[in-house]
Chains A and B, each alone.
Chain A
Amino acid sequence: MTAPLHEPTAEAAPSAAEEAALVAGSAEAKAVQGRSLGRIAWERLKRDKLALAGGMVVLLLILIALLAPVIANLVGQDPETHHEDLIDPLFSTPKGAYGGISGDHLFGVEPVSGRDIFARIVYGARISLLVGFLSALVAVVLGTILGVLAGFFGGWVDAAISRVMDGLLAFPQLLFIIALVSVMPNEMLGLTGTGVRLFVMILVIGFFGWPYVGRVVRGQTLSLREREYVEAARSLGAGRFYILFKELLPNLVAPIIVYTTMMIPTNILTEAALSFLGVGVKPPTASWGQMLSAAIDYYESDPMYMVIPGVAIFITVLSFNLFGDGVRDALDPKGSR
């Protein structure tokens, strides 16, 4: 392969490379001001009200997911009990206005089964956040390791890893995720049913996400390893691993954090999409995507059933995006605020 190794190729999206370069600039700002990067970023983030609001909602959602059984108990509901007495036998939609919203059922009940929607939304947050966070973790770990390897060692290692990244980025991803998730058996590695599906979703979504992180980390490593301070460390006799862990990785933290926060909402949307298409989490386990998929048959007769999980996804993804934008701007001195 004769592709230039030290310059972004035409395939690498310039925005990502530029973003990495901007974040690199913030490392220089650190030297000038004598304050830690984290400190500067935090001070900037504190001034960004929208980002803070997003961060608060994210925290609240994490709490809701962790305390799902407690919250459901508080209102005296659980996500899987049927309440068929609340269903109009003629149309199989909930009795009462707005999808059966009442003091007992804060968000109403599902058509046909009468399961409590509030409890299902609260439990659904667990699935969304679990898959969102863990698959981002898989992508970041894989992307960082392979990106650093490619950038640091160069040569054929870089060529091989870069080809794989280009290839994965050009793959019809959703199609492959659906295909992979759907051929998985019902039992494996001691997990059954929903457990297997979650495990496979996390791995597969994470796997298709790593090239996005890897590309940025590789570009960043390439530019960092030629810097004077690395040269200085090398001339002092520092070993490869010392340079890798002590000199390079700390400077990669900023872009990695930015990409992680941007990746979580995307992954949450992918999980919801898979469950919507019927290859992700299946009922009776509650997930927002699965609820929307069930709601498609009732958008005329019971629109609230569609609106509630839709709004839940919207609020979650929006607050992650707000927070992520804020983190990016905070770590990027030239960025807009």
Chain B
Amino acid sequence: MARGTAAGPRAVLAYLIRRLFAAAVMLVVIILVVFGIFFLVPRWAGVDPATMFVGKQADPAAIEAVRQKLGLADPIFAQVWEFFKGIFVGRTYSSGGDVTDCAAPCFGYSFKSEQAIWPVLTDRFPVTLALALGAAFLWLLFGVAAGVLSALKRGSLWDRGAMIVALGGVSLPIYFTGMLSLAIFSYGLGWIDGRYVPLAESFTGWLGGMILPWVTLAFLYAAMYARITRATMLEVLGEDYIRTARAKGLTEPVVIGKHAMRSTMTPILTMLGMDLGALIGGAILTETTFSLPGLGGAVLQAIRDKDLPVILGVTLITSLAVIIANLLVDLLYAVIDPRVRLS
């Protein structure tokens, strides 16, 4: 097979730089939007952001202290600048004699829970990462396999059955299947404890706590991926180059496994990048249902408490995860699909 545009290392480098630049712009925009949501929207609606951080019944002195400490009276760009500076050189919050230090990398300091954000993030990130990666492994394995089988045996009993299950799967909210699985396997049958146990404490305990979240999350996504894989595979099988491959006398496993799978995987990878990025940024629903101490739980609590520094920190990490995942997918793309030009 002739590769028309053999991309040299130079082109790849230029492509990488362009993508990284776009990613950086995206991050800045996201930070500005988060600032906007928590500072501008309440202002339009006539609520003082400082009161949001201390609560409604707090006395004026406490509100003023928070305003000074967080620099809420400064122009918004000064606040954004302070935030960025904090990430690289650390930051000090002060109001009068009251000084709070936040060492670099300072992603903010929560005045509600009286702790820096960074340790909270590093504490909770592994839980979310394990949840997302474990589930992704399962759903790719089963979802793609089910979709390919359905496409190859189109119209068969297996195809119809699998697609009905898949349609049911995408129609079920994760918190419902999650609760149902807890009620059945943990409470009803007593097979699994269902509580989260840190990996450092016990491996089997950790596995027991993660298995239900993994399976329920993977079920939802496997259903989605099976539907997409089937549709894409059917389309690919109708292409001329597949007919050519068959006409050349290639065996069916080679035609399917090597030629058809390559094109089928392209849209699947795009989805995987977006889904994985979004999940790593906080599988909020899954973590809430199973009470997992991950990023999603942290940000939900922060939003309920209107704890802006935590929200900012987590949103930044989340966006980073989404952007990195998409970047990786774009690079993988160029590898598996030579039609993709590096432009």
Size bin of chain B's contact surface: 35 or more
Query: B315 near A172 (CB under 8 angstroms)?
Result: yes
Q: B33 — nearest CB in chain A belongs to which residue?
A: A176
Whether A172 and B319, one on each chain, are in contact in the complex, defined by CB atoms closer than 8 angstroms, is yes
Nearest-CB distance from A276 to chain B (Å)? 5
Cβ A15 vs Cβ B284 within 8 A:
no
Residue B95 at the A interface, CB < 8 A?
no
Which residues of chain A are near B42, meaning CB under 8 Å? Answer: 183, 185
Contacts of B323 in A (CB 8 A): 170
Does A296 touch B at the CB level, under 8 Å?
Answer: yes
CB <8 Å contact, B300 and A277: yes
Task: List the one stretch of A84-92, A214-222, A316-324 in contact with chain B.
Answer: A316-324
A4 touching B318 by the CB < 8 A rule? no
Cβ-defined partner of A179 (8 Å) among B171, B303, B330 = B303
Could you tell me the distance between the alpha carbons of A104 and B282 in the complex, rounded to whole angstroms?
Answer: 43
With A172-B322, A292-B176 in contact, is A180–B45 under 8 Å at CB? Answer: no
Q: Check B267–A179 contact: CB distance below 8 A.
A: no
- A191 to chain B minimum Cβ distance, whole angstroms, is 12
User: 1/0 per residue A94-136: CB within 8 Å of B?
Assistant: 0000000000000000000000000000000000000000000
User: Would you list which residues of chain A between 1 and 44 have a CB under 8 Å from chain B?
Assistant: 2-4, 10-11, 13-15, 18
Nearest-neighbor residue (CB-CB) of B228 within chain A: A15
Interface-side segment among B66-74, B230-238, B240-248: B230-238
Look across to chain B and name the residue whose beta carbon is closest to the beta carbon of A178: B303
| B163-209 residues at the A interface, CB under 8 angstroms | 167-168, 170-173, 175-176, 179-180, 182-183, 187
A13 touches B267 (CB 8 A): yes
Choose among B168, B170, B173, B179 the residue with the greatest number of A CB atoms under 10 Å from its CB: B173
Chain A residues lying within 8 Å of B172, measured Cβ to Cβ, are 310, 313-314, 317
8 A Cβ contacts from A170-210 to B: 170-176, 178-180, 182-185, 188
Query: Does the CB pair B179–A321 fall under 8 Å?
Result: no
Q: Distance in Å from the Cβ of A248 to the closest Cβ of chain B? A: 26
DSSP majority for the B interface? helix
**How many Å from the CB of B335 to the closest CB on chain A?**
12
- B284 touches which one: A13, A171, A178, A307 (CB < 8 A)? A178
**Segment from A58-66, A73-81, A144-152, A265-273 that makes contact with B:** A265-273
Q: Which residues of B contact A185 (CB under 8 A)?
A: 42, 45-47
Whole-angstrom distance between the alpha carbons of A292 and B304 in the complex? Answer: 18
Asked if B110 lies at the interface with its beta carbon under 8 angstroms from chain A, I say no
Residue contact A310 to B267, C-beta cutoff 8 Å: no
Q: What are the residues of chain A within 8 A of B299 when measuring CB–CB? A: 175
* A272/B173 in contact, CB under 8 A: yes
Min CB gap A160→B, angstroms = 13
Q: Which residues of A have CB within 8 Å of B326?
A: 11, 170
Q: What is the CA–CA distance of A223 and B267 in the complex, to the nearest angstrom?
A: 21
On chain A, the residues within 8 Å of B340 by CB distance are 10
The B263-294 residues at the A interface (CB cut-off 8 A) are 266-267, 270-271, 274, 277-278, 281-282, 284-285, 288-289
Given A178-B303, A183-B37 in contact, is the A318-B285 Cβ separation under 8 Å? no
Given contacts A306-B183, A314-B176, contact A167 B154 (CB under 8 A): no
Residues of B near A14 (CB, < 8 A) are: 266-267, 270
18 contacts between A and B (CB under 8 A): A11-B270, A13-B270, A14-B267, A14-B270, A15-B228, A175-B282, A179-B34, A183-B52, A265-B171, A273-B175, A276-B173, A277-B284, A279-B303, A289-B173, A313-B173, A314-B173, A317-B171, A318-B171
Excluding A15-B232, A296-B289, A321-B170, 19 further A-B contacts by CB distance (< 8 Å) are A14-B267, A14-B270, A167-B29, A171-B322, A172-B282, A174-B278, A178-B300, A183-B37, A183-B45, A183-B47, A269-B173, A277-B285, A277-B300, A295-B179, A296-B175, A299-B182, A310-B176, A314-B173, A318-B167
